[in-house]
Structure 1
C-alpha cells in the first residue's frame, strides 16, 4: 500500500496513526496550521486515498488545519479483520475525529462519495458525537442508498434493467485484476467518474489514484456499496450541511443529492445545495474552485457560530 500527497509537499505536513474501534490502524495526515486554527477533516471515496484532496489541501492549508485520512484498506491504512460495512466507515471517522478535534475547535467534515457515506454512517452510529465533534458537514457526490439502481453508468431498455443491475452489483464486488495505468484504463476512469470536459491532467491524476487501489480492497468495499443504506444518518446529521454534486455524475447522479437536500431542508439543516453543470463524480478535482468556494461558505458560516 502506498500513500503520496504529491503536489502538497511544500506545505507543513504531519502524519500520525489513529486506532479505530476494532484496533485497525488508520493513516492520518495533517497540513497547515496548528491546533488553534479552524479544523477541516476530509473523507475520501471508494478506491481513492488521502491525496485525492490535494486541491483542497493546497487551498486551505495556509489558513486552516487540514486533516485527511486513508479509508481502511486504502493507501497506508490497514484493512483490519472486521468485515467491511457502513458501520465500520462510521467507526473509523469517529476515531479520526476523536483524535484530531480539540476542546476549542470542532471539525467541518467533508465526505466525497463513499466518504459522504462515512459521514452519514458516522451520524447513524454515533449521533451523540455529531454536535460534539463537528460544526458542519459537506456531502459531495454521494447518496445514502440505491447506488446500483440509480446509477446511470449503464443505460438499457427497462426489460433488461433488472438483470444488468444484478450484474453491476456483482461486478462491484469482484476483486478483479490489477489495473495498470494505461490510456485505455484512463478512458474507463474518465467515463465512469468525470464529466465530458475534464482536462487531461485531471484524468491522469484521478486515474493514477484510482488504479492504485488494491483489487481485493476495491472488491470488498464494492460489495458493501452494492447494498449500502445509511439513510438513518441523514436525520442524525444535526449540523449545517452543504450538498454538492455535478450534473454529469454517473456514479451518484444528481437525484441522490436532490433527495438529500430536501430531507436536510425539512429538518432545517441544509446550508447550501450546489449543482455544477457538466461536472462528473470527481467534483473536487474537476471543479476545485467551485468546490472550495462551497466549503469556504459553510466554513465561514459555522466559524461565526
Structure 2
C-alpha cells in the first residue's frame, strides 16, 4: 500500500511522483491522526456504494443545517503559567423567577450555586458537550473550555504536552471562571484524565470545593495496552514502526499532511463513524458534527499530544474523590478507552456509580445523550446544597448491590 511506504516520512519522495506521494502521505497521516483521536483505519460500506458527488452534497447539506455546536455562553480567557491563553464560556443559572431548575433539583436553588466544569477529549472541543449543555442550560452554572491547542484556545507555549500540564491548565480555568463556590468536574476521555491530574497536583482544591465528579469514557492509565480493536501483536508493530514515522511527518510536513487529510476527508468520515460510535444508526448529522471537530484539530497537535497518553498513570489521584458522589460511565462498544478502563476507575472508587451504556461507543455523550444526561442529573441532585450534599445517586445503590466491585484502591 502507498500508505505503508509513506508512513516512514523519510526518503520516499524520490521513489514516487510528488503528487502521488503527497496524496499517500496525507491520507496515511490523516488515518493515523484519527486513530490517535479515537479511531482506526477502516471505510464504511456506504463509501463503496454511494457516488462521490452525492456524498459531497450530503456533507455540505449537513454542514449548512447541523444545529450541533451552536450554543454559546459568556466568553472568557484564562492564562496558564506558560502564557497559553485558554478560551472558556460560562452559562449562568437562570434568574430566580425562572423555574427551569426544578427539572433537575426538584426545588428552588440556593446560593452559592454549584458550577459544573466540563472538560473535553482529545481532538474535540467544548462543543462536544452540546447535548448536556442544552439539557442543563439555565438549571445550573456551567463552564465549558477548550484544551490548549484545541478549539478556540491558543497553541501551547510549552514544547511538548503532558496530562499533568493539562491538569494545571484546568486549575487556571477554574481560577478564572469559577473562583469560588462548590464544583462538579465532568471530563470525557482526555478531559477525565485532565481532572485526575488536577486532583494529583491540587488535592486541596478537590478537598475544599469539589462536591462531585463524572468520568466519561476515560482511563486512569495503561493506555499503551489499548489495541483499538486490532490484534494486539499488530498494534504493537504499528506503535513501534508506523506511528513514530507518521508523527514525524505530521510535525515536519504539517501543511502537506493537512492537504492530504482534506483530500481523504470522506475516508476519515467513515473511520470516525465506525470507531467513535457503537451503532451504525447514529444520526448522520451527529456523525458529521464529530467529524468536523476532529478535522479542525491540526495534525501537528494530534502528533504532539499522542505521546502523553502512554505516560498517563493517575490511579492514585482518584482517591481524592473517594468520599463524594462520582459517576463513572462508559460506552459498551468503546474501542478507544474500553469499558474495562472505566471499570478500573470504579474499582478504585467502590462507592462510585459505574454505568455501562449498552451499544454506545467512545463518543457516548453524543451518541446516547439521554442516558448520559440522566446520570449526570443524579450527580447534580445529590450535590445540590438544598439536599445538603447527602443524597446518594441511584446508580451508586445499584453498583453496591451488584456485588461485582473490588475493594478499592484508596485507604479507609
Where does residue 163 of structure 2 map in the other structure? Answer: 86
Q: Which 5+ residue runs of structure 2 have no aligned equivalent?
A: 1-65, 95-110, 390-412
Q: Report the TM-score when normalising by structure 1.
A: 0.88
Pairwise CA RMSD of aligned residues? 2.3
Structure richer in strand, relative to its length? 1
**SS across alignment from 1:183:** helix
Change (3 A) 1:90 1:205: same
Answering whether residue 47 of structure 2 is matched by residue 47 of structure 1, we say no
Residue 118 of structure 1, aligned match among 178, 194, 213: 194
* Offset at residue 189 of structure 1 (A): 1.1
Asked whether the 8 Å contact 1:8–1:57 carries over to 2, the reply is no
Question: Number of matched residues?
Answer: 293
Distance in 1, matches of 2:203 and 2:330, equals 25
Q: Which residue of 2 aligns with 1:249?
A: 334
TM-score by length of 2: 0.66
Residue 286 (str. 1) matches residue 367 (str. 2): yes
Look up the match of 2:394.
none
* Deviations 1:211-249 (CA, angstroms, capped at 9, x unpaired): 110111111111212332222322233432110000100
Structure 1 residue 77: Cα displacement? 1.0
Residue 161 (structure 1) shift: 5.2
Displacement of 1:38 = 3.1
Cα offsets for 1:2-47 (capped at 9, x unmatched):
xxx9646566x20000112322210001124279543211000000
Deviations 1:230-287 (A, max 9, x none): 223222334321100001000000110111101111xx4x1x1110111000010001
Which range moves more in the overlay, 139-148 or 246-255?
139-148
Give the match for residue 193 of structure 1: 276
Which structure has greater helix proportion?
2
- The answer for unaligned runs of 5 or more in structure 1 is none
Matched, 1:262 2:344: no
Task: Name the structure 1 match of 2:206.
Answer: 130
Mapped contact 2:330–2:364 kept (Cα < 8 A): yes
Assess, with a 3 A threshold, how the Cα gap between structure 1 residues 273 and 171 changes in structure 2: closer, same or farther.
farther
User: Is 1:193–1:281's contact at 8 Å kept on the other side of the alignment?
Assistant: yes
Q: Does 1:237 align with 2:311?
A: no
Show CA shifts across 1:129-173 (max 9, x none): 1122311110010101121313333225x5x45324435764885
Q: Contact between 2:124 and 2:294, CA under 8 Å: does it hold in 1?
A: yes
Instruction: Summarize the Cα distance change of 1:243–1:30 in structure 2 as closer, same or farther, 3 Å threshold.
Output: same
